[in-house]
Amino acid sequence: MLDQIVFYSLSVLVLLSALGVVLQRNAVHSSLFLGLSLAGVAGLFASLGADFLFGAQIMVYVSGIAVLVMFVVMLLGRASDLHLRQVNDRWMAALLVCAVASVGLLKIARLSSATVATVAARPGTHDIGRLFLGQWLVPFELISLVLLAALLGAVFFTRTENAS
Amino acid sequence: MIEHAYLIPLIPLAASALMHFGAKEDPHSPAPWIGVVAMAICLGMSLSILSAVASGSVAVPYEHNWPWFSFAASIGGKSFIYDMPVGVLIDGPAAVLLVVVTLVSLMVQIYSIAYMHDDTRYMRYFGFVSFFTASMLGLVVSSNLLVGFMSWELMGLASYLLIGFWFEKDGPTEAQKKAFMTTKLGDSGLYVALLFLFAKVGSFQLTQIHHFYDKGYMPAAAAAAIAIGLLFGAMGKSAQFPLFIWLPDAMEGPTPGSALIHAATMVAAGIFLVSRTYFCFLAAPQVMHAAAWIGCATAFLAAAMALVSYDIKRVLAFSTVSQLGFMMCALGVGGYTAGLFHLTTHAFFKALLFLGAGSVIHSVHTNDLRLMGGLSKKMIVSFFTILAAIAAISGIPFTSGYYSKDMILANIWHSGDRPLFFIMLFTALMTAFYMSRLFILAFWGEARDHEKHHHAHESPFLMTGPLVLLAFLALTSGFMLDRHGLVYKLLPKPTISVMPGEVAREHAPPATLVSATMPAEGGEHAAAPSEAKAEEHAPAHEAAAEHGEHHEGHLPHALHLALPFLVLGSIGFAFFLYKGPDYAAAESLKATFAPVFTVLDRRWYLDDAFDLLVVFCDKVAALAFWIDANVVDRVFVDGWGLLMRIVSEISNLIDALFVDRTVDGFGGLSLDLGVGLRGLVKDGQVQEYLMYVAIAFSLAATLILTR
Amino acid sequence: MNAPLTLAHYMTVAGLLFLIGVFGALTRRNIIGILMSIELMFNAANINLAAFDRFLHPEGVTGQALALFVMTVAAAEIVVGLALLLAIYRGTDTVYAEDFNLLRG
């Protein structure tokens, strides 16, 4: 029973705050809702027993990416132009697309409505560590290379001309 | 220490890389000391290896291999796995050579620090020297002829770089090209020999090749071909007749570099290669005999050229060629020990001579002997050290050259070839003559050019220190090695127990001797009878060897005693001719025999002969080109082209009429379609594009998933 | 409410979250808004991965590890995206997607 309560409340939180992200006119509010939504996703991870993912989600998304987005929003003063429309004139078409896609997605979700968890959730941090430093070492190193490249790219793009 | 022998070539290589890429070029950089320290470490390791080998505390030959690569090949329906290890093989000669090379290179580098101090490419020079030494050491320690060949070619490159070090001038550039191309001519022979060896033996490992020869599997004809190829390579590298033309020009490089080329690395490599593959030559007696006569011709012709040259470095270069002729001749008549012994002692005194000459040139700023004279008063250390070197190379009793040259002459005497012996004896006397001539002209008597003499000064300690050490070795190394027959113990002559052709006919030798399949049935069977045969021979063989060891190394008593007096007579003759400030006696002799002198001065017209050869080849090539351009091209190429053009014109017509129309139709259709569609889309809007993606995605997802 | 939680529950939430992200990416005029919507889509995928791991392969952690990779790529994406946005903003003084049409054909 507790599981269900946690799940449904988290889901409602996630979906509502996601709607807030895409519908809020003020970009600052948008980014705050983004943080909330991502925290909700972290809660869903926790309810799935993915402890390491929960921690990573909090650290990377909620305290990293959401804050970063907030910074940029505030850095670009015009990002929060409140007198301008923040939604373009294609919103009807977009709604239609989403409706069509939702049919397929909900259909495929219903296929697995009989799949329930058979074993109890257990901590996975240890296994993830073994996996990353063992069998998946090369992808792990490659992804750190990707991060390095992203870092360099960010530095390169944001460099101002007179600084060089 | 011997298990770390692989480090000996690698340390100088690393030092070279460090000096090349480690720091900016700077004439006062301390970086050359890296090379000196690296070489000192190598010298220490080499000395410990030599002492271990000499004391018998390690078993020689020491061999250790690491896997490099292997490949499979199928020959005649059978598949073989070829293993190509890389490793070290240290035997007595290699241990001695290691010490010689590292010692001379160390001395040269220390000397060069003072000699090259104001050159603009100071560090690059030391990088080259370390690289040169590293490649020579690689050849010396390698157990694998393929790696040896690589080192051999790297050495060619290093000599090219070093000879043309002052490439701003025309002389060095010409000389480096000449050296490179001449040695490459010899290397082509070596290359063919190596291919032949691999095809026959199936391995580049020296020990396996030796084993193959030892069992007599090698057919006589193949053995001769391989020996000729190897000899050709050695002739190029060790400057044997007629490929010696590059060495006298090679002195265009920095003088310490010449010392390295002449004493420790380049020219020693050829002799060392012959000694390393000596069993190949033992299996081909005719080729050995040819090698002896090539060595003899080289020694004599070069000595004759040295008689008339007035350029101090050129005299030394000719003397190197001549001494190499001695070594080749000794190896050719079977005097393995004598040849390598002379290589060792020669390295010391020739390095000393070149470094001494460098000291003199450094001081008087000329190469011309006629402008020197009376330098003994100004340059006392150079004077005494060069005196020691000249005593050694002339064969004054109890110097190193006396022992080694005596042993060579004794070996030639016992080979029974009297003309060879007397030519070589005469050449030895000529050696004494031209070296004394150089000495008298440079140091004796009064100064001829007072201006230069006035400016002459003794070189700094960094230059004289190596000279003194080398002089000590030039005087004593012969005695040290000759005592108790140490040289026979260190440099034992390799043997092959079965000559090619002697192997039992009924058991055909295996086509290839491959490591994976070596202990094959056939091989064992074939080996059995030949071993029995070898045992039959063995007692006689051993007795002969025992006998020969005491016998071959010594001349008949009368000759042995007479030789020093002949040498002294020759030196006395040189004094008689070149005494006084204007050496009138020599000039009058020169006037009398002018044609002979001209021939010698023109270096036996060998350069001209090679030039003519090149011109002739050029003419042949021009003729071939003319035939190609006027006959082949006109008739075949142009005719074929014309035919093809007609065919293609027809093809083009069909293409334009039918095919292209269709293609154009499709193109136009898609163009119209594109233009029509484009009207519907507001371009440049990223979200518009995203919308199309989303529409396609949602439709596809829904249609496929809900099917 | 009392029915046990199934994979379908999580997939439904993930699907809805994804569609909200799609809607946002299609309709927000602000580039930052588009980037935030894309983050929502990434998270939807991550929920699915974690759910598959829990329900279909509870013996391993492969799904969680994959979700971590997705997270890393998402972080790299948003960093580069925001950097690009800053650079473009400096040049054009606008953050609206419809103004960015330099590559118009």
Do both A133 and A57 map to the same domain?
Answer: no
Please measure the distance between the N-terminal and C-terminal CA atoms of chain B and give it in whole angstroms.
78
For residue B685, give the chain C residue with the closest CA.
Answer: C98
How far is it, in rounded angstroms, from Cα B395 to Cα B16?
A: 37
**Partners of residue C21 in chain A, C-beta under 8 Å:** 18, 22
Q: Find chain A residues with C-beta within 8 A of C27's C-beta.
A: 22, 87-88, 90-91, 94
Q: C11, C26, C102: best mutation site toward chain B, by most B Cβ within 10 Å? A: C26
CATH code for the domain in which residue A50 is found: 1.20.120.1200
Which residues from chain C sit within 8 angstroms of residue A91, using beta carbons? Answer: 23, 26-27
Judgement on whether residues A17 and A97 belong to the same structural domain of the protein = yes
Of C5, C75, C82, the CB nearest to A60: C75
* Cross-chain residue pair B686–C97, CB shorter than 8 Å: yes
Six token digits for residue B87: 């490793």
Q: Do B437 and B574 form a contact (C-beta atoms < 8 A)?
A: yes
B311: helix, strand or coil: strand
Chain A residues in contact with B701 by the CB 8 A cut-off are 101, 104-105
- 8 A C-beta contact, residue B387 and residue B376: no
Would A101 be classed as within a structural domain? yes
Q: How far apart (Å, rounded) are the C-alpha atoms in residues A86 and A24? A: 8
Give yes or no for a contact between B240 and B269, defined as CB atoms under 8 angstroms apart: no
Q: Same domain for A74 and A151? A: no
The residue type of C104 is: R
Best mutation target among B677, B680, B681, B687 (most C Cβ atoms within 10 Å) is B687
Same domain, A15 and A73: yes
Query: Does residue A130 sit in the same domain as residue A96?
Result: no
Q: For C33, which of A27, A110, A147 is closest by C-beta distance?
A: A27
pLDDT tens, residue by residue, A39-63 = 999 999 999 989 999 999 999 898 8
Touching C: A residues 54-73, CB under 8 Å: 56-57, 60-61, 64-65, 68-69, 72-73
b/e map C13-51, b = 16+ CB within 10 Å: bbbbbbbbbbbbbbbbbbbbbbbbbbbbbbbbbbbbbbb
* Helical packing angle, A91-111 and B686-705, nearest 10°: 30
Same-domain check for residues A76 and A151: no
A50·C69 Cβ contact <8 A: no
Q: How far is C29 from chain B (nearest CA, A)?
A: 9
Match 């113990």 to its residue by tokens: B489
CA dist., res. B688 & res. B682, Å (int)? 8
Give the model's pLDDT for residue C104: 62
For residue B67, the cross-strand partners are B85
Spell B217-255 as b/e; 16+ CB within 10 A means b. bbebebbbbbbbbbbbbbbbbbbbbebbbbbbbbbbbbb
Q: Name the phi and psi angles at B673, rounded to 5.
A: -60, -45
Chains that touch C (3 or more CB pairs under 8 A): A, B
Q: What was the pLDDT predicted at A14? A: 95
Q: Is B518 helix (H, G, I), strand (E, B) or coil?
A: coil
Asked whether the beta carbons of residue B687 and residue C104 sit closer than 8 angstroms, the reply is no
Q: What is the pLDDT of residue B508?
A: 46
Q: How many CB pairs under 8 A join A and C?
A: 249
Specify whether A17 is located in the same domain as A92: yes
Segments in B71-205 forming alpha helices (H)? 92-115, 122-141, 145-163, 170-201
- pLDDT value at residue B546: 43
Shortest CA gap B488–chain A (Å)? 59
Q: Is C103 a member of any domain?
A: no
Rounded Cα distance, B247 and B234, in Å: 14
The parts of chain B modelled with pLDDT lower than 70 are 1, 445, 447, 449-450, 453, 500-553, 580-586, 603-604, 681-684, 707
**What confidence score (pLDDT) does residue A38 get?**
94
Partner-chain contact A88 B703, CB within 8 Å = no
Same domain as A80, residue A54: yes
Question: C101 and B685 in contact by Cβ < 8 A?
Answer: yes
Domain identity same for A44 and A21: yes
Range(s) of the domain holding residue C22: 7-93
Residues of B with CB under 8 A from a CB of A: 687-688, 691, 694-695, 697-699, 701-706
Q: Where are the beta strands (DSSP E) in B164-287?
A: none
Considering only CB atoms, C87 lies closest to which of A1, A34, A158, namely: A158
Inter-chain residue contact B702 with A100, CB threshold 8 Å: yes
A13 lies in the same domain as A65? yes
Q: Is B338 helix (H, G, I), strand (E, B) or coil?
A: helix
What local confidence, expressed as pLDDT, does residue B545 receive? 45
Best mutation target, B678, B686, B699, to test chain C (most C CBs within 10 A): B686
DSSP B448: S
pTM score, whole prediction: 0.61
Total domains in the fold of chain C: 1
The Cα–Cα gap between B234 and B294 comes to 11
Number of domains in chain A: 2
Work out the burial of residue B492: count CB atoms within 10 Å of its CB; fewer than 13 is exposed, 13-18 middle, 19 or more buried: middle
**Do B699 and A108 make contact, defined as CB atoms within 8 angstroms?**
no
Structure tokens at B62: 């020491």
Closest by Cα among B426, B386, B237 to B324: B237
B contacts of A89 (beta carbons < 8 Å) = none
Rounded Cα–Cα distance for residues B46 and B112 (Å) = 22
Closest CB to B684 among C25, C26, C104? C104
Picking from C29, C37, C43 by the largest number of A CB atoms within 10 A of its own CB, the best residue to mutate is C43
Q: Which residues of B touch A105 (CB under 8 A)?
A: 701, 705
**What type of residue is C56?**
L
Retrieve residue B75's tokens.
Answer: 């020959």
Mutate to test the interface with B, among A22, A103, A106 (most CBs of B within 10 A): A103
Residue B576, both tokens: 């008689």
The Cβ-side half-sphere exposure at B499, using a 13 Å CA radius, reads 12
Contact residues of C toward B, CB < 8 A: 22, 25-27, 34, 97-98, 100-105
Q: Is A109 on the interface with B (CB under 8 A)?
A: no
> What chains are in contact with A, requiring at least 3 Cβ pairs below 8 Å?
B, C
Interchain contact B56–C (C-beta under 8 A): no
- How does pLDDT run across B405-445, given as a tens digit for each residue? 888 888 888 887 788 888 888 888 888 888 888 888 887 76
The answer for residues whose C-beta is within 8 angstroms of residue B206's C-beta and 6 or more apart is B89, B143, B144, B145, B276, B277
Contact B217, B513 (CB under 8 A): yes
Could you tell me how many residues make up chain A? 164
Asked if B441 and B372 count as a contact pair (C-beta separation under 8 A), the reply is yes
Q: Does the CB of B686 have a partner CB in chain C at under 8 Å?
A: yes
Instruction: Assess contact for B225 and B140: CB atoms under 8 A.
Output: no
Residue C101 belongs to a domain: no
Q: How many CB atoms lie within 10 A of CB B93?
A: 27
High-pLDDT (> 90) share of chain C, %: 56
> Contacts of residue C87 in chain A, CB cutoff 8 Å?
157-158
User: Could you list the pLDDT tens digit for every one of the 164 residues in chain A?
Assistant: 788 899 999 999 999 999 999 988 888 889 999 999 999 999 999 999 899 999 999 998 988 899 999 988 888 866 456 667 777 778 888 898 999 889 888 888 888 888 888 788 888 889 999 999 999 999 999 999 999 999 999 988 888 766 54
Closest approach of chain B CAs to the CA of A105, in angstroms? 7
Residue C1 lies in a domain: no
For residue A155, the enclosing domain spans: 125-159
A104 contacts B691? CB cut-off 8 A: no
Judging contacts by C-beta atoms under 8 Å, the chain B residues touching residue C101 are: 683-685
Q: B702: which chain A residues are within 8 Å (Cβ-Cβ)?
A: 100-101, 103-104, 107
- For A23, name the nearest residue in chain C, comparing CA atoms only: C24
The pLDDT tens digits of the residues spanning C41-74 come to 999 999 999 999 999 888 888 999 999 999 999 9
Q: Are the C-beta atoms of A42 and C67 separated by less than 8 Å?
A: no
Please judge whether C78 and A68 are an interchain contact, meaning their C-beta atoms are less than 8 angstroms apart.
Answer: yes
Residue count of chain C, please give it: 105
Q: Which of B691, B702, B703 sits opposite A90 (nearest CB)?
A: B691
Structure tokens at B638: 């142009």
Phi, psi of B443 (to 5 degrees): -110, -30
Six token digits for residue B444: 């004796």
Q: What is the CATH number of the domain that holds C52?
A: 1.10.287.3510
A153 vs C contacts (CB less than 8 Å) = 79-80, 83
B24: distance to nearest CA of chain A, Å? 26
End-to-end CA distance of chain A: 61
- Residue B133 contacts residue B288 (beta carbons within 8 Å): no
Rounded Cα distance, C44 and A109, in Å:
13
CB-neighbour burial class of residue B604 (10 A; exposed 0-12, middle 13-18, buried 19+): middle
Peptide bond into B61 cis (omega under 30): yes
Contact B685 C98 (CB under 8 A): yes
Backbone φ/ψ region at B56: left (φ over 0), alpha (ψ -120 to 50), beta: left
Report the 10 Å Cβ neighbour count for B682. Answer: 9
Q: Which residues neighbour A143 within 8 Å (Cβ) at sequence distance 6 or greater?
A: C69, C72, C73
B291 close to B281: Cβ distance less than 8 angstroms: yes
B683 touches chain C (CB under 8 A): yes
Q: How far is CA B215 from CA B145, B209, B531, in A?
A: 20, 10, 8
Pair A102, A132 in one domain:
no
Q: Look up residue B327 and give its amino acid.
A: M
Q: Please indicate, yes or no, whether residues A72 and A132 belong to a single structural domain of this protein.
A: no
